Amino acid sequence: MTLLRGNRLFGALLGFCAVLALVFLAIPIISLLTAIAPSRLLDLLTRPAALDALVVTIQTNLVANALILMIGTPAAYLLARRSFRGRNIVLTAIEVPLVLPPAVAGIALLAAFGTTGMLGKTLAEHGLVLPFTELAVVLAVTFVAAPFYLRAAISAFSLVDRDTLDAARDLGASEGALFVRIALPLAAEGLRTGWALAFARGIGEFGATLLFAGSVMKVTQTLPLAVYAELAVDLDAAIAVGLLLLLISTAVLLVSKLPTTWTPSITRADW
Protein backbone atom coordinates (compact mmCIF):
# COMPACT_ATOMS: atom_id res chain seq x y z
CA MET A 1 0.00 0.00 0.00
CA THR A 2 2.80 2.37 0.93
CA LEU A 3 4.67 1.49 -2.26
CA LEU A 4 1.56 2.11 -4.37
CA ARG A 5 1.00 5.49 -2.73
CA GLY A 6 4.64 6.41 -3.29
CA ASN A 7 4.39 5.48 -6.97
CA ARG A 8 1.27 7.64 -7.33
CA LEU A 9 2.97 10.60 -5.68
CA PHE A 10 6.03 10.20 -7.89
CA GLY A 11 3.82 9.93 -10.98
CA ALA A 12 1.98 13.08 -9.92
CA LEU A 13 5.30 14.87 -9.45
CA LEU A 14 6.43 13.84 -12.93
CA GLY A 15 3.15 15.04 -14.41
CA PHE A 16 3.38 18.37 -12.59
CA CYS A 17 6.91 18.95 -13.84
CA ALA A 18 5.91 18.09 -17.40
CA VAL A 19 2.93 20.45 -17.32
CA LEU A 20 5.01 23.21 -15.73
CA ALA A 21 7.71 22.88 -18.40
CA LEU A 22 5.12 22.88 -21.20
CA VAL A 23 3.31 25.93 -19.82
CA PHE A 24 6.55 27.84 -19.31
CA LEU A 25 7.68 27.14 -22.89
CA ALA A 26 4.27 27.68 -24.46
CA ILE A 27 3.26 30.99 -22.86
CA PRO A 28 5.86 33.18 -24.64
CA ILE A 29 5.08 31.50 -27.98
CA ILE A 30 1.33 31.94 -27.54
CA SER A 31 1.86 35.54 -26.46
CA LEU A 32 3.90 36.21 -29.61
CA LEU A 33 1.28 34.57 -31.83
CA THR A 34 -1.55 36.64 -30.35
CA ALA A 35 0.27 39.96 -29.98
CA ILE A 36 -0.80 41.35 -33.37
CA ALA A 37 -4.08 41.09 -35.26
CA PRO A 38 -3.72 39.01 -38.47
CA SER A 39 -5.03 41.92 -40.55
CA ARG A 40 -2.20 44.16 -39.35
CA LEU A 41 0.45 41.44 -39.57
CA LEU A 42 0.41 41.31 -43.37
CA ASP A 43 0.84 45.07 -43.60
CA LEU A 44 3.84 45.01 -41.24
CA LEU A 45 5.55 42.13 -43.06
CA THR A 46 5.22 43.78 -46.47
CA ARG A 47 7.10 46.88 -45.40
CA PRO A 48 10.46 47.41 -47.16
CA ALA A 49 12.50 46.84 -43.99
CA ALA A 50 10.96 43.39 -43.41
CA LEU A 51 11.11 42.34 -47.06
CA ASP A 52 14.72 43.47 -47.48
CA ALA A 53 15.75 41.60 -44.32
CA LEU A 54 13.92 38.49 -45.53
CA VAL A 55 15.75 38.56 -48.87
CA VAL A 56 19.16 38.98 -47.19
CA THR A 57 18.35 36.18 -44.74
CA ILE A 58 17.28 33.75 -47.46
CA GLN A 59 20.23 34.51 -49.73
CA THR A 60 22.90 34.25 -47.05
CA ASN A 61 21.44 31.18 -45.36
CA LEU A 62 21.05 29.29 -48.63
CA VAL A 63 24.72 29.85 -49.43
CA ALA A 64 25.80 29.04 -45.87
CA ASN A 65 23.75 25.84 -45.79
CA ALA A 66 25.10 24.76 -49.16
CA LEU A 67 28.63 25.15 -47.80
CA ILE A 68 27.74 23.32 -44.59
CA LEU A 69 26.20 20.37 -46.43
CA MET A 70 28.76 20.07 -49.23
CA ILE A 71 31.81 20.33 -46.98
CA GLY A 72 30.40 19.15 -43.67
CA THR A 73 28.88 15.88 -44.89
CA PRO A 74 32.07 14.24 -46.24
CA ALA A 75 34.06 15.73 -43.35
CA ALA A 76 31.65 14.20 -40.83
CA TYR A 77 31.81 10.85 -42.62
CA LEU A 78 35.60 10.84 -42.36
CA LEU A 79 35.57 11.79 -38.68
CA ALA A 80 32.92 9.17 -37.92
CA ARG A 81 34.52 6.25 -39.74
CA ARG A 82 38.24 6.82 -39.25
CA SER A 83 40.38 6.71 -36.11
CA PHE A 84 43.54 8.79 -36.08
CA ARG A 85 45.83 10.54 -33.65
CA GLY A 86 44.36 13.85 -32.51
CA ARG A 87 40.78 12.93 -33.44
CA ASN A 88 39.42 14.04 -30.06
CA ILE A 89 41.17 17.38 -30.44
CA VAL A 90 39.57 17.85 -33.85
CA LEU A 91 36.13 16.97 -32.47
CA THR A 92 36.60 19.41 -29.60
CA ALA A 93 37.67 22.16 -32.01
CA ILE A 94 34.49 21.58 -34.02
CA GLU A 95 32.37 21.97 -30.89
CA VAL A 96 34.04 25.13 -29.57
CA PRO A 97 31.78 27.52 -31.57
CA LEU A 98 28.79 25.92 -29.85
CA VAL A 99 29.85 27.31 -26.48
CA LEU A 100 31.27 30.64 -27.63
CA PRO A 101 29.17 33.68 -26.70
CA PRO A 102 27.87 35.27 -29.93
CA ALA A 103 29.90 38.44 -29.33
CA VAL A 104 33.09 36.39 -28.99
CA ALA A 105 32.25 34.54 -32.21
CA GLY A 106 31.96 37.90 -33.97
CA ILE A 107 35.25 39.12 -32.56
CA ALA A 108 36.92 35.84 -33.58
CA LEU A 109 35.69 36.31 -37.15
CA LEU A 110 37.03 39.87 -37.16
CA ALA A 111 40.37 38.64 -35.83
CA ALA A 112 40.53 36.08 -38.63
CA PHE A 113 38.94 37.90 -41.57
CA GLY A 114 39.06 41.59 -40.64
CA THR A 115 41.22 43.92 -42.69
CA THR A 116 44.00 43.56 -40.11
CA GLY A 117 43.18 39.93 -39.24
CA MET A 118 45.19 36.77 -39.67
CA LEU A 119 43.76 35.99 -43.11
CA GLY A 120 41.79 39.16 -43.77
CA LYS A 121 44.88 41.32 -44.17
CA THR A 122 46.13 39.19 -47.05
CA LEU A 123 42.66 39.07 -48.59
CA ALA A 124 42.34 42.86 -48.32
CA GLU A 125 45.68 43.31 -50.07
CA HIS A 126 44.22 41.35 -52.98
CA GLY A 127 41.07 43.46 -53.04
CA LEU A 128 38.73 41.20 -51.04
CA VAL A 129 37.37 42.98 -47.95
CA LEU A 130 34.98 40.75 -46.03
CA PRO A 131 33.67 42.66 -42.97
CA PHE A 132 30.33 44.43 -43.37
CA THR A 133 29.49 42.65 -46.61
CA GLU A 134 26.91 40.00 -47.45
CA LEU A 135 29.71 37.46 -47.61
CA ALA A 136 30.49 38.30 -43.98
CA VAL A 137 26.94 37.27 -43.09
CA VAL A 138 27.49 33.95 -44.88
CA LEU A 139 30.71 33.34 -42.94
CA ALA A 140 29.07 34.27 -39.62
CA VAL A 141 26.12 31.95 -40.22
CA THR A 142 28.39 29.12 -41.35
CA PHE A 143 30.68 29.53 -38.34
CA VAL A 144 27.90 29.35 -35.74
CA ALA A 145 25.63 26.84 -37.50
CA ALA A 146 28.09 24.30 -38.93
CA PRO A 147 28.92 22.65 -35.57
CA PHE A 148 25.25 21.72 -35.08
CA TYR A 149 25.24 19.84 -38.38
CA LEU A 150 28.67 18.31 -37.92
CA ARG A 151 27.87 16.89 -34.49
CA ALA A 152 24.64 15.32 -35.70
CA ALA A 153 26.24 14.05 -38.92
CA ILE A 154 29.18 12.46 -37.11
CA SER A 155 26.78 10.73 -34.74
CA ALA A 156 24.57 9.55 -37.62
CA PHE A 157 27.48 8.14 -39.62
CA SER A 158 28.89 6.46 -36.50
CA LEU A 159 25.66 4.46 -36.19
CA VAL A 160 25.87 3.05 -39.72
CA ASP A 161 26.38 -0.70 -39.43
CA ARG A 162 29.93 -1.67 -40.41
CA ASP A 163 28.75 -5.12 -41.49
CA THR A 164 26.52 -3.50 -44.11
CA LEU A 165 29.47 -1.51 -45.46
CA ASP A 166 31.67 -4.61 -45.47
CA ALA A 167 28.98 -6.54 -47.37
CA ALA A 168 28.90 -3.82 -49.99
CA ARG A 169 32.70 -3.93 -50.27
CA ASP A 170 32.53 -7.68 -50.79
CA LEU A 171 30.14 -7.03 -53.69
CA GLY A 172 32.75 -4.77 -55.27
CA ALA A 173 31.53 -1.36 -54.15
CA SER A 174 34.03 1.49 -54.26
CA GLU A 175 34.47 3.81 -51.27
CA GLY A 176 32.61 6.53 -53.16
CA ALA A 177 29.70 4.20 -53.83
CA LEU A 178 29.65 3.13 -50.19
CA PHE A 179 29.35 6.76 -49.16
CA VAL A 180 26.64 7.73 -51.66
CA ARG A 181 24.55 4.54 -51.84
CA ILE A 182 24.90 3.10 -48.35
CA ALA A 183 26.14 5.56 -45.73
CA LEU A 184 24.09 8.56 -46.83
CA PRO A 185 20.73 6.74 -46.97
CA LEU A 186 21.29 4.99 -43.64
CA ALA A 187 22.33 8.25 -41.96
CA ALA A 188 19.73 10.39 -43.74
CA GLU A 189 17.44 10.87 -40.77
CA GLY A 190 20.27 12.04 -38.51
CA LEU A 191 21.67 14.26 -41.26
CA ARG A 192 18.30 15.89 -41.79
CA THR A 193 17.89 16.54 -38.08
CA GLY A 194 21.34 18.08 -37.93
CA TRP A 195 20.57 20.23 -40.95
CA ALA A 196 17.33 21.44 -39.35
CA LEU A 197 19.21 22.46 -36.20
CA ALA A 198 21.90 24.19 -38.24
CA PHE A 199 19.39 25.99 -40.44
CA ALA A 200 17.34 27.17 -37.48
CA ARG A 201 20.50 28.37 -35.73
CA GLY A 202 21.63 30.17 -38.87
CA ILE A 203 18.27 31.86 -39.40
CA GLY A 204 18.37 33.14 -35.83
CA GLU A 205 22.03 34.21 -35.82
CA PHE A 206 22.45 37.70 -34.34
CA GLY A 207 25.57 38.50 -32.30
CA ALA A 208 28.34 37.30 -34.60
CA THR A 209 26.60 38.80 -37.62
CA LEU A 210 26.16 42.17 -35.94
CA LEU A 211 29.83 42.44 -34.98
CA PHE A 212 31.33 41.02 -38.16
CA ALA A 213 28.85 42.10 -40.83
CA GLY A 214 27.01 45.00 -39.24
CA SER A 215 23.35 45.80 -39.82
CA VAL A 216 23.15 47.55 -43.19
CA MET A 217 19.72 47.48 -44.81
CA LYS A 218 19.56 45.51 -48.08
CA VAL A 219 23.14 44.32 -47.52
CA THR A 220 23.72 42.64 -44.15
CA GLN A 221 20.56 43.23 -42.12
CA THR A 222 19.01 39.81 -41.56
CA LEU A 223 15.65 39.14 -39.89
CA PRO A 224 17.06 38.94 -36.32
CA LEU A 225 18.92 42.21 -36.88
CA ALA A 226 15.71 43.74 -38.26
CA VAL A 227 13.91 42.75 -35.05
CA TYR A 228 16.57 44.58 -33.03
CA ALA A 229 16.42 47.64 -35.30
CA GLU A 230 12.63 47.82 -35.24
CA LEU A 231 12.45 47.60 -31.44
CA ALA A 232 13.53 51.22 -31.16
CA VAL A 233 11.07 52.35 -33.83
CA ASP A 234 7.95 50.18 -33.87
CA LEU A 235 7.36 47.34 -31.41
CA ASP A 236 4.59 45.84 -33.56
CA ALA A 237 6.95 45.67 -36.54
CA ALA A 238 9.56 43.92 -34.41
CA ILE A 239 6.95 41.41 -33.21
CA ALA A 240 5.80 40.81 -36.80
CA VAL A 241 9.34 39.99 -37.95
CA GLY A 242 9.73 37.78 -34.89
CA LEU A 243 6.57 35.91 -35.90
CA LEU A 244 8.01 35.38 -39.36
CA LEU A 245 11.15 33.88 -37.84
CA LEU A 246 9.00 31.65 -35.65
CA LEU A 247 7.06 30.37 -38.66
CA ILE A 248 10.23 29.67 -40.64
CA SER A 249 11.85 27.81 -37.74
CA THR A 250 8.68 25.78 -37.12
CA ALA A 251 8.48 24.83 -40.80
CA VAL A 252 12.11 23.66 -40.74
CA LEU A 253 11.44 21.49 -37.68
CA LEU A 254 8.38 19.95 -39.34
CA VAL A 255 10.40 19.14 -42.46
CA SER A 256 13.02 17.44 -40.29
CA LYS A 257 10.33 15.11 -38.92
CA LEU A 258 9.03 13.90 -42.29
CA PRO A 259 9.50 10.18 -42.99
CA THR A 260 12.73 9.18 -44.70
CA THR A 261 12.20 7.61 -48.13
CA TRP A 262 15.84 7.25 -49.26
CA THR A 263 16.94 3.61 -48.87
CA PRO A 264 20.36 2.01 -49.37
CA SER A 265 21.16 -0.47 -52.11
CA ILE A 266 23.87 -3.11 -51.91
CA THR A 267 23.27 -5.24 -54.98
CA ARG A 268 26.21 -5.87 -57.27
CA ALA A 269 24.35 -4.34 -60.20
CA ASP A 270 24.43 -0.93 -58.50
CA TRP A 271 28.21 -0.72 -58.52
> 162 and 123: one domain?
yes
CA 88 to chain centre: 22
> 51 and 144: one domain?
yes
> 60 and 111: one domain?
yes
User: In the predicted model, is pLDDT for residue 146 greater than 60?
Assistant: yes
Tell me what pLDDT residue 1 has.
63
If residue 185 lies in a helix (H) or strand (E), which one and from where to where?
helix 184-203
Residue 44, classed as helix, strand or coil, is helix
User: In the predicted model, is pLDDT for residue 111 greater than 90?
Assistant: yes
- The range of the structural domain enclosing residue 167 comes to 38-270
Looking up residue 214, the CATH number of its domain turns out to be 1.10.3720.10
What share of the chain in percent tops pLDDT 90?
Answer: 49
Q: What share of the chain is helix, strand, coil (3-state, %, to 5)?
A: 75, 0, 25
43-57 per-position pLDDT tens digit: 888 888 899 999 999
Region 141-164: mean pLDDT is: 91
User: In the predicted model, is pLDDT for residue 98 greater than 60?
Assistant: yes
> 6 and 132: one domain?
no
Domain count, the chain: 2
> 14 and 112: one domain?
no
Region 56-85: mean pLDDT is: 93
156-210 per-position pLDDT tens digit: 999 888 878 778 777 777 878 888 888 888 898 999 999 999 999 999 999 999 9
> 179 and 76: one domain?
yes
> 103 and 196: one domain?
yes
> 12 and 58: one domain?
no
Closest CA to 179 of 75, 30, 255: 75
Of the pLDDT bands very low, low, confident and very high (cuts 50, 70, 90), residue 267 is low
Q: The pTM is what?
A: 0.87
> 128 and 178: one domain?
yes
User: In the predicted model, is pLDDT for residue 38 greater than 90?
Assistant: no
Which residues does 63 contact at the CB level (< 8 Å), separation at least 6?
138
Tell me what pLDDT residue 37 has.
84
> 202 and 265: one domain?
yes
DSSP structure class, residue 257: T
> 16 and 106: one domain?
no
The torsion angle over the Cα atoms of residues 215, 216, 219 and 221, rounded to 10 degrees, is: 40
Closest CA to 78 of 197, 190, 176, 213: 176
Tell me what pLDDT residue 243 has.
92
> 91 and 204: one domain?
yes
Mean pLDDT of all residues in the chain?
A: 88
